[in-house]
Structure 1
């Protein structure tokens, strides 16, 4: 035993020596080691060494996925790590997630443990891989961060210009501070000189949003937007508006004043001459991106050539208050490059949404608009979906969330939806997601929306609540009659236990590739749950196009064994991904399911999601079931948590 212990220690010492002298040894020497030694060595290598050696190992048929996954688990936990099922995805997520922490000097347990290996070399390794840049504008070490990105013979910022596609801004920037120029310059290089076309803004600062949108989309600048930019020199001591850090009430009044009332700023605007004045009246710094670019002479930018404005194709705004929305609405009619727009607020007012609808209509009528994807949360009422789709003839993907929770009966719509004979022209929408948080949903309106959407290929509905005694059967009937192009159907948090005939009819005539009944209480009111599930499985087996099936959180429990019938008889189901997570499946039930599935093995390597089931009730039996499944399935099986147990206990009461 002593000899074994010593041998083990000696091997570990050798592995540590390889890590320490990796550069001197060279990649070729490490890759030439026997496969079993390489696999034992991987956990001892730094992230940079792992990144460097991966291509050569892949050529030998050796994957580094397990190591990247282990790092990701250490950083974010197992539940998060399994979202990245391939080697490259896991690696990119590790580098993307760690890069801003290392750049901005943040400390988490992983960074503290590996601090000596997370230096400039890591930043270089990550820079060649990541495509998403997180801008922390208010960081205390702004100057140091700026130097890290712009110093050296080949600055990281030059690499980012070519690689970064997505930029996220998480801090509000005070345009009156000279240090803000560093952040503005970085953003200008990425958005205007670089390849970034996706912008996410998580700041409730309308002045900063105005700077970002200034002149974007077309050469025309809306007068209101330009007034806001020209008035960016306001007193730092002026009151802050509801959602505009650094915006005085007078400034926002001026931006929205249609009568042209003159508002005198605290300092004279010098934006047209590209300069701002400090407290003594001396020219101090600029917010004009082109002049900022020219002022940083050490950077490789040809100051003789005017900077162009980059084309933003995807814009995502969080904490989008009324002032920020007003700025967006003023620029939207000429935002011709915009293809995707996502707006998120705790709740938009109806007037907010109608202003947006008007701007969308102008963009659509211009015939130059390219907007195809629209996401809004939260709408105050569901009927605004109709107005949004009527406003734009280019939107093919709409994702909305509705929040209107009021105690007692309520009227959700201004007018009732038209009768079937009066339904207007079809919308071009192909992908529709509607998540509602309402005391009661209007089923008639939703079926009206579906009748006007015959081109739907993907539908996701969640949270529809109906009065006691009502049924969602008309919804399923409408899908059968009007939405023949559906390939993906996701119904979530809805009661479908009294809709089995309509579900079966839908399955007889569909060409679905993905079907999800998540938390739909499929068996809740059934007197014979096993027979009901068998009827459903028999119908599902005949849908030859179906590849993904989810019955998560439906309280299947011991009835899970019936699902093995998917792969029995002829025709056998073509499903290759089956999600039965959170169904209170006990170890003995899973073992019986595994035995039946062994008899009727799926034709493909089945991916099976078993998470959030009570495996801890009998770990040995659960392990025995997994062992039977292992030869013909790839499964996700997470540990049981006390919170999961309580949720499932309540759901099964």
Structure 2
């Protein structure tokens, strides 16, 4: 049947057939239309009634949905729900969170589909998207939306030097970040295509952000050389015939003088011996120009030497001592570096952190330095936070992870004296301090808080302090020194008995996002509902608040009190409420839903209900969800409460 008459057919069927048959016929029609969407007249298809077009959306694949979206948007039809459905089908519903707009959901869907399809993963959700679709055409479409390319040694990378050259050209324009895993293998023969891809994306493309997994300083030095820093690194250690490549010799200009390379011509060898004999001096066998000369033969002439890209953001996810020693010489002249992240499973000693600080100080003393974001973990002393800030006084964001260790108690004696500018005010806007549940010296942290009056985002996690008075000191310091805070995340702290300080903080800050995750808020309360009621009353006064997280605080029977957020005047404008992992029983959730029905939120809520014992009374739980559905979008999962009897007893 022709799609234009679908509505009339359904109306006729409704008069002569039972509702179940009409519903089945409708699904059948929509399925047929979706399968043949590429061959249909798009103009005629878009003349369908709005209701039918909305019903059609869940049946479209990525390629067809992308093609129709502009016209659908002109009709006032959002494709947000369709993109969410596809993404949930690919990744799983519990992994699709935090996507609130049509474009960001589409972006995530396209990116995920590309990575899985390109590397040949045959997940069920991906397989549904490539049925009756030309894979090469699909990849070219979704590649335009790829912002982060995951570079993994794989046979599929060989296609970039063959039938998928055009795909690599598209990626050069779209990719902003390259995530390189197992890069210690990139200098081996079997990974030469990965090295070529990395060169094309960094040097010929737009990628300026780099994430590295691995601990090979030789590869790190090769990547960093001439891509931002003026540091002249020593020649790389060159294993003989490291790439095992042969490439075409520079072809003489043809009769038309275009200098094209021809696939049939003999290729020059890319090994140390050939370069030493031809140029009279050794040259790295992995020069980017040689990679392009080898793999770009069939795509025309090479116009001069390859450009060098600039790396603006670097993340080393497995940064050991060898990588740190390879990195620090580049830092003093790396003027375009704006973001540096160093993460390690091993502890950085005080000596190593101070070595890093010295290099960063040399960089910051250059007026053209761009470094504004620094993340370092894990090191041993809170005092080193001040050293890093003294080395980089222009930082806007600092993230550190500290794990105090007995074997690294003191700084080297020659470094004991504080820098002269250590007491100066700082322009820091974002600060994150994580300590893995170890007793911590608070002085250095409060000293930093007092010097960062412009702080807008603060995350403190895991700190263990000797007494409740120490937590009082921390909260008081935040309340008095950081009144411009917009985002506050206090996680895994013992704030039991700190109600007065919490209420004072809420009165002094105009927060937009507040997270008090796993802070034991109700642990010492004889009347938990009264305690929570006081917090809710204070939160209503924070008119700027849009996101609230109270996860892992054992709210349990007290949770219905949260409905009071939306009563009285002023009424809270919270849009996202996270009450996951609070042992909220189905009956309590139903009570919360009914209370929200009587005093509905100003705007539709996003409600995180994960890791609550829904399976204790599934019928009541689903009744609660039906009550909440007109008011909220909720996040749930299939978490089983079996084995959580200890939590249950603690809340009885």
Indicate the TM-score class for this superposition, using the shorter chain for normalisation.
Answer: 0.7 to 0.9
Q: CA deviation at 1:603?
A: 3.0
Q: Shift of residue 490 of structure 1? A: 0.9
Matched, 1:77 2:82: no
- Give the superposition deviation at 1:71: 2.5
Q: 2:48 aligns with which of 33, 37, 41?
A: 33
Instruction: Select between 31-40 and 539-548 the one with higher mean Cα deviation.
Output: 31-40
The 5 Å alignment of 1:74-473 reads: 74-112=89-127, 116=131, 117=133, 119-136=135-152, 138-150=153-165, 155-172=166-183, 174=185, 177-178=188-189, 180-218=191-229, 220-222=230-232, 225-227=233-235, 229=236, 231-233=237-239, 276-277=271-272, 286-298=285-297, 303-350=302-349, 351-404=351-404, 424-467=423-466, 471-473=470-472
Deviation at 1:478, TM superposition (A): 1.0
Give the direction of change, closer, same or farther, for the CA distance of 1:643–1:303 in structure 2 (3 Å limit).
farther
Q: Distance in 1 between matches of 2:18 and 2:625?
A: 36
CA distance in structure 1 between the aligned counterparts of 2:302 and 2:431, rounded to whole angstroms: 47
Task: Give the equivalent residue in structure 2 for 1:540.
Answer: 539
Name the CA shift for 1:393/1:442 in 2 (closer, same or farther; >3 Å): same
How much has 1:501 moved relative to structure 2?
1.4
Distance in structure 1 (CA, Å) of the matches to 2:433 and 2:643: 26
Question: For 1:6 and 1:517, how far apart are their aligned partners in 2?
Answer: 52
Deviations 1:189-236 (A, max 9, x none): 211221111111112222211111011214x223xx233x3x233697
Paired with 1:647 and 1:113, the residues of 2 have a C-alpha distance of 43
Deviation at 1:282, TM superposition (A): 8.4
Partner Cα separation in structure 1 for residue 565 and residue 109 of structure 2: 38
The SS at the match of 2:381 is coil
User: SS state of the match for residue 133, structure 1?
Assistant: strand
Distance 1:525 1:140 in 2: 59
- How far apart in 1 are the matches of 2:598 and 2:186? 69
Task: State the SS of the aligned residue for 2:465.
Answer: coil
CA drift of 1:106 comes to 3.1
Cα distance, 1:280–1:186 mapped onto 2, change above 3 Å:
closer
RMSD between superposed Cα atoms in Å: 3.5
- Taking the aligned partners of 2:417 and 2:356, their CA distance within structure 1 comes to 24
Is this contact kept in 2: 1:348–1:380, CA < 8 A? Answer: yes
Alpha-carbon separation, structure 2, partners of 1:125 and 1:444: 54
- The residue aligned with 1:525 is 524
**Unpaired segments ≥5 residues, structure 1:** 237-272
Name the stretch that deviates more: 568-577 or 124-133: 568-577
Q: Distance between the aligned counterparts of 2:275 and 2:206, measured in 1?
A: 40
Q: 1:187 to 1:410 in 2, by over 3 A?
A: closer
Structure 2: runs of 5+ lacking an equivalent: 1-15, 243-267
Q: Report how far residue 140 of structure 1 moved.
A: 3.3
Which whole-Å deviations, capped at 9, do the CAs of 1:149-186 have from their partners, x for residues lacking one?
31xxxx12222222111111113254654554433332
* 2:175/2:207 contact within 8 Å kept: yes
- Sort the Cα spacing of 1:306 and 1:457 in 2 relative to 1 into closer, same or farther, 3 A: same
Secondary structure of residue in 2 paired with 1:52:
helix
Give the match's secondary structure for 1:38. helix
Residue pairs, 1:574-653, within 5 angstroms: 574-642=573-641, 645=644, 648-649=647-648, 652=651
Cα 1:462–1:455 shift into 2, 3 Å: same
What secondary structure does 2:328 align onto? helix
| Mapped partners of 1:140, 1:56: distance in 2 | 39
The 10-residue stretch of structure 1 (284-293 or 591-600) with the greater mean CA deviation from structure 2? 284-293
Q: Is the 8 A contact 1:582 1:612 kept in 2?
A: yes
Structure 2 CA distance for partners of 1:47 and 1:355, relative to 1, 3 Å: same
Note the C-alpha offset of 1:471: 4.3
1:550 paired residue number: 549
Q: Matched residues in 1 for 2:55 and 2:601: separation?
A: 35
Q: What's the CA shift for 1:411? A: 5.5
- Distance in 2 between residues matched to 1:160 and 1:609, nearest whole Å: 36
Q: Is the 8 A contact 1:318 1:344 kept in 2?
A: yes
Give the structure-1-normalised TM-score: 0.83
Answer yes or no: is the 8 Å Cα contact 1:216–1:310 preserved in 2.
yes
